[in-house]
Each structure stands twice: as C-alpha cells, then as structure tokens.
Amino acid sequence: MSYFRDNIDAMTGYVPGEQPQAGKFIKLNTNENPYPASAAATQAIATVLQTGLSRYPDPMAEAFRRRAAELHRVAPEWILCGNGSDDLLTVVTRAMVGEGGLIRAPYPSYVLYRHLADIQGAQFEEIPYRPDWSLDDSFADANDNLRLVLLPNPNSPSGTFSSPERIGAIASRLSCPLLVDEAYVDFADEDCVPLVTQHENVVVTRSLSKSYALAGLRFGYVIAQPHLISGLTKVKDSYNCDSLSIAAATAAIDDQSWRADNRRSILATRDRLTASLRDLGFEVPDSHANFVWATHGAASAKSLYEELKDRRILVRYMNFDRWGEGLRITVGSDDQVDACLSMLKTLLK
Amino acid sequence: MSYFRDNIDAMTGYVPGEQPQAGKFIKLNTNENPYPASAAATQAIATVLQTGLSRYPDPMAEAFRRRAAELHRVAPEWILCGNGSDDLLTVVTRAMVGEGGLIRAPYPSYVLYRHLADIQGAQFEEIPYRPDWSLDDSFADANDNLRLVLLPNPNSPSGTFSSPERIGAIASRLSCPLLVDEAYVDFADEDCVPLVTQHENVVVTRSLSKSYALAGLRFGYVIAQPHLISGLTKVKDSYNCDSLSIAAATAAIDDQSWRADNRRSILATRDRLTASLRDLGFEVPDSHANFVWATHGAASAKSLYEELKDRRILVRYMNFDRWGEGLRITVGSDDQVDACLSMLKTLLK
C-alpha cells in the first residue's frame, strides 16, 4: 500500500525550468530579469543582518502590506504576502478547492496550474485560447462544480494580454473567484487591480521575481477584498515570509524609479528581439511580458532549443498538445539577446 | 455563498505566538534562541548578495542536502528542504491525507497540527499523554482510516522526551507514516534519525529556527527514505527555499562547534531556570528542549502571564482543555531568565 493519496501517486511532479547550478549559460529560459535588483533591496538585507535572524519574522509582513497598499491605493487589509506568488497560488487553491471541485484555466498557459489541481485532487478544465490568443466566451460559462478560475495576464507562454474590460466582464459572469495571475504585468500597459475594488470575486497575484529582479528572494503578494484575505490567511503557513525577504521586498517596491528604468530597458530590448525574430521567419505575437513566444513554420523548435543549449544558450522549449511547439525566450540583456539571435541566424541558414 | 471550502470556513486560524514588532520586550514566548546565529550564516548571505538575487534558487537546495546528508550519515536523496519545518508539515499532510482521512497526534502537543488537519478537511484524533507525559499504548493502535501520525519529540509544551526505542516500537505497530517532529531535538540527548533507516514509515523533520538561532530565516528539512522524499517533492512548491536561506542554512549546519557551544549555554541556563521555578513552587517536568513547562498549584498561570506582560516580559500562556493551564517559558539568556524569575518571585510573594 502506498503512503500517498491516490491523486499524488497518479501525478507527475511539476518540472521547473532548468536552473543549471554549474557552468556558464546565457540563461533565457525562466524569465529572470537580466539586471541586478535595486540597491535598496540589498541594503535592507544588510540592515536586517545587523539585528540578526534569531527572532521569528512578522507573520503578516505588515511593513510590506502598508507600502504595497499605498502603491495600489487600497488598505493594507487588501494585501497578503507569500513565499513567491506560487505560495499564494497554492494557498488559494487549498482554501477554495476541495477534492472533486473544478478549476478552470485557459490553454496553453502556466503549466503549474494543473499540478495545483492534481495535488488538491480537484478536476481541471482547460479552455483553449482562440488562435489569436484571445479568451473564448466559454471561459466564463457557468458550472455548478466550478470553484476557481485561473487566468495569467499577461499569459505565458504567449506574452499576450487580455484587457481589464474583457476580464471584468468575465468576472461578472462567474459565480466563483477569478484569480488574475499578474506575475508579468509590470511589463504591460494596464493591470487588473482596479477590478478588485469593483468585483468581490477578483483576486490578483503579483510577484517580485521578474519586474523587481528578485527571483532568488521568493516574494509575492495577493490583492483582494478583505473577506477573501482573511480566509486565505487561515491557510497560509504562519511564518511564510522570512525577515530578509520582507525587508528587501518592502525596499524594492519603494524604489519605483528603479522599476520604471528597468522596465524601459526590457521593453526596448523586447521590441528589438521581436522584430529580429520575425525577420528570421518566426511568428511572434506582440508580447506584454519579459519574454516572447516564437514559433517557426519551417524549423523544428526542439532542434533549435537543443542546438542553442549545446552552445550554452538556454531558452524554454515548450510543446503543447493539440496546439504545437515553440520557444519561449526571455528578454535578457542586449548582449544576451544578440548572442541568441546571432546563433539562431546561423542555425536557420 | 462562501468562496471557501466548508472546512476552511469552519476553522479558526492558527494564532502564532505574539511577535511584537514595536517596543522592547524580554521575549520568552516563542522559543527563539537568545544568541546570534553563527557568523558563517551571515557571511554566506553576504556572499550571495555579491552575485545577486535575480536568478531563481536551486529548486532542491542540493548544497544543503549534501551537507545535511553528511551530518546525518545518509545519502542526499534522504533529505528534503523546506521554508521552515512548518512548510514540510504542510507538504506531508497534503501529500498523505485526503478529505476524511485521519491524523493522530498526542495531547497536549503542537497546536498547529489540528489546523493542518482542518485545512485538509481531515479528521483529527488526540491521544492524551499519561500524567507523566509518556505515550499511551493506544497511540499505536490500528485504525483503517489512519493516514498519518504526528509526534513532536521533544514535545511542546512539556519539553518531555520519548525514547527512540519507544518510538521505534510504535512505528513497527503502525501501518501509516509516523512523523517525528524534532524541532527541539538538538537540546535533547538522543534523536530518531537512526529510526529512519530501520523503519520505512518514519519521517523526521528538523528546524533551524531554534538550535541554529535562525527563526527569521525560515529553513527546515525532512529526513526520510527516498521513496517518501520523491512523493513529497511532487507536492512542495518548486522554489520553496530562497537563495539566501539555502546558503545561510548550509553554512550554519556546517558550523557544528557553534551549535555545540550554544547548546551548552542553553542547557546550563535551562537547569538553573528549572531549579529556580521549582523553588518558587512550580511543577516543571524535566525539559529536553529550549523551554520549560511550568504549572503552579496555587497561582493562576493566566494572571502571572498578564502581570509579566505588563512588565514587558513575554512568556507563553497555554490552557489545554481537560488538561489545564501553564506557562511555557523559553530558555533565554541568563539575564533574561533572571529578570523573569525575579519578577515571578515578586508576583508570588
């Protein structure tokens, strides 16, 4: 007899993007920011080290909540912090979806969502995007068993964006919570935080991994109405964020001029990467994130991925059943992107 | 209609010990180590900051696994790291206990266990300790629905210890996993890691919060046979430990002479605290942890807690239904413990 639940035995684990711990790679596979984080974040960590780490952290990370609340023009009771936004996706599914409950997500999107459903012993329904990566109307269809709808916006792997108007209309039709996963939204032009005040079923998650260059820190947060935050608080681990990450994250979001400058650099490189890939014959939907999704009518994405990897350039190869394969390429520094482009040019000759 | 599962709506959240963020308290309520962590831990953090935090951490924290494996004389595949041992308790319950499954724990013990059962929608069975804090034989009784047995050793709030022989005999009788929560074991004389090789159903959890003075860092680990580690790995968040904590934790367990010195100090103070409390009329079971459990026949523990708090000395007041109330007092520095003792002496006059 297995000691694990049947749903755990039946599932395969989520495989995160390759994180080579040795050797030098040009790493364009997991959407990390190519630039160092705000110096304020590092300084905040040094300050914590002076008082030491022997005490437990603030369970609710109030310093961060207050600062994030100002940034988003809500009250601190609308914010909940997590050990990366993955922690918060986990907390939301555990709080809202029991065994046999239904989770809906668009397809193709963030591969982790299915695993979260599997761990809960929940059902998982994928609504395919239309060919132009817009949301199908059936995404908002009623279903008695539906407990949670997950929508990454911008979406991964496509980098495409659904307008807040469109998402608000979907939230109105749904009778369950709609979680808008805004891990990449700082690279877009709009966001869904205003929907949170208008719709009591909208939950927005944010990450400091990408737009604040702090993937190594593990920090994210939820923005939602207080009735939702208080239920989620019951489910999170009591000390889910450590003292160093709370201090660094608070300092990082306090440095909005760093974020604006960084965003400007990434967007300029993204434009250039997109245009160059199109010149090489790739189809690339307009990206609102810090990566692009590139498919090629003639060349095999798998082969390109492998050839690049042999030359120590890592991009993300993804193959979606009933949809097709492609390369998800992070917007790195100009040098990194140039190295990738010039290698692709050689390979496609 | 609520957006939460019925079991979540029905539960009250776990309330961690008070963590005053402002004001100066002598803090003897959450079993933090009164001394600063090994300088090697701080140094390791400084080193990570030099390379930056923009990259994701190693998902499996292999550097820590290798070092912990050496320390415990097992292979790295026997180790799984977590964001504090609470994260690992969460992962184990999610992996092993579905809705309606039964979790067993002794009573009184770590209050969090019931909450983990509530979050899973599981049943929870408490087996009272015998009056001398030894485990009742029924703790190992068979039950078809039993999925997981949780045993803190040393126990909280009592600080008492069950021998590895006794626990091994219980593991042999159980047909489900037995998790031995060794958060405090570094302050005892023996531990249950040897049982892990002998019993394929024994899981040991460790924390760096207490004996390594790193509560602010959030780092813990599991020691179990590889067939269990691989199932648990499917359930943990992919990047559950951050780059700073992995580096600091690896350096901390590498500095065993710091730990031995620290342990010696804590144990000397614990002996003195225990003897002085007994002189004041408290009943104090022999502690194998970095706290003591003090009950008093004549004085109200609640009043003592409140009077101490008014004087900015925080201890943990606990009141266990069908068992009684008491004060759980952390073994702080000599000065902290003296301040607490002298105030208690005044209050009990």
Question: For B223-239, what is each residue's pLDDT tens digit?
Answer: 999 999 999 999 999 99
Selection from B217, B216, B218, B215 nearest residue B83 by Cα: B218
Measured between beta carbons, the chain B residues lying within 8 angstroms of A81 are none
Q: Three-class SS of residue B257?
A: helix
Taking CA atoms, what residue in B is nearest to A210? B54
Structure token digits, residue B147: 């999925």
Helix ranges, B134-255 (H): 164-173, 193-198, 226-235, 243-254
Q: What residues pair up with A105 in beta bridges, in sequence order? A: A126
In chain A, residues with a C-beta closer than 8 Å to the C-beta of B6 are: 98
| Cα B213 from Cα A306, distance rounded (Å) | 45
Report the run of H or E that residue A9 belongs to, with start and end.
helix A6-10
At B102 the pLDDT is 98
Antiparallel, parallel or unpaired: β B146-152 and B178-181: parallel
| Token pair for A277 | 């890939």
Closest CA to A320 of A292, A348, A301: A301
Peptide bond into B59 cis (omega under 30): no
Out of B2, B59, B175, the one facing A19 most closely (by C-beta) is B59
E-strand ranges in B108-188 read: 123-128, 146-152, 178-181
- Confirm or reject contact between B155 and chain A (CB < 8 A): no
CB contact under 8 A, B119 and A83: no
Measured CA distances, A140 to A104, A106, A161 (Å): 10, 11, 17
pLDDT for residue B21: 66
* Cβ–Cβ gap A7/B98 under 8 Å: yes
Task: Show which of residues 308-347 on chain B sit within 8 Å of chain A, judged by CB atoms.
Answer: none
Distinct helix (H) and strand (E) counts, chain B: 12, 12
Helix H or strand E segment including A72? helix A62-72
Q: Is B76 on the interface with A (CB under 8 A)?
A: no
CB contact under 8 A, B244 and A243: no
Q: Which of B32, B87, B177 sits opposite A55 (nearest CB)?
A: B32
Task: Name the DSSP class of A161.
Answer: -
Please choose, from the candidates A202, A336, A338, A198, the residue with its C-alpha nearest in 3D space to the C-alpha of residue A276. Answer: A338
Chain B positions in Cβ-Cβ contact with residue A16 (cut-off 8 Å): 56, 59, 238-239
Range B137-146 contact pairs with CB under 8 angstroms and sequence separation of 24 or more: B139/B104, B139/B106, B139/B170, B140/B169, B140/B170, B140/B173, B140/B174, B141/B173, B142/B173, B142/B174, B142/B175, B143/B102, B143/B104, B145/B100, B145/B101, B145/B102, B146/B101, B146/B102, B146/B104, B146/B174, B146/B175, B146/B176
DSSP notation for B300-336 = -HHHHHHHHHHTTEEEEEEEETTTEEEEEEE---HHH
Whole-angstrom distance, CA of residue B223 vs CA of residue B245: 18
- CA–CA separation, B7 vs A75, rounded Å? 28
Distance from CA of A298 to the nearest CA of B (A): 33
Q: Is any Cβ of chain A less than 8 angstroms from the Cβ of B30?
A: yes
What whole-number distance in Å separates Cα of residue B194 and Cα of residue B204? 10
Give the separation between CA B3 and CA B9, rounded to whole angstroms.
9
Nearest CA-CA partner of A188 in A292, A98, A104, A289: A289
Instruction: Say if residues B290 and B211 touch (Cβ distance below 8 Å).
Output: yes
B74 — contact with chain A (CB < 8 Å)? no
Residue B105: Cβ within 10 Å count? 24
Which residues lie across from B205 on neighbouring strands? B181, B222
pLDDT of residue A198: 98
How far does B130 lie from chain A, in Å, by closest CA?
29
Nearest to B32 among A56, A216, A218 (CB): A56
In chain B, which residues have pLDDT < 50?
A: none
Q: Which among A59, A95, A177 has the least Cβ separation from residue B8?
A: A95
- Predicted TM-score of the model (pTM): 0.97
pLDDT single digits (tens) A297-338: 999 999 999 999 999 999 999 999 999 999 999 999 999 999
| CB spacing of A53 vs B37 below 8 angstroms | yes
B50 in A contact zone (CB under 8 Å): no
Nearest by CB to B242, from A14, A17, A245: name it: A245
Scanning every residue of chain B, which has its alpha carbon at the shortest distance from the alpha carbon of A22?
Answer: B58
Q: Which residues of chain A have pLDDT under 50?
A: none
Q: What was the pLDDT predicted at B22?
A: 65
State the Cα–Cα distance between residues A159 and A154, nearest whole angstrom.
Answer: 5
Inter-chain CB proximity A216 and B49 less than 8 Å: no
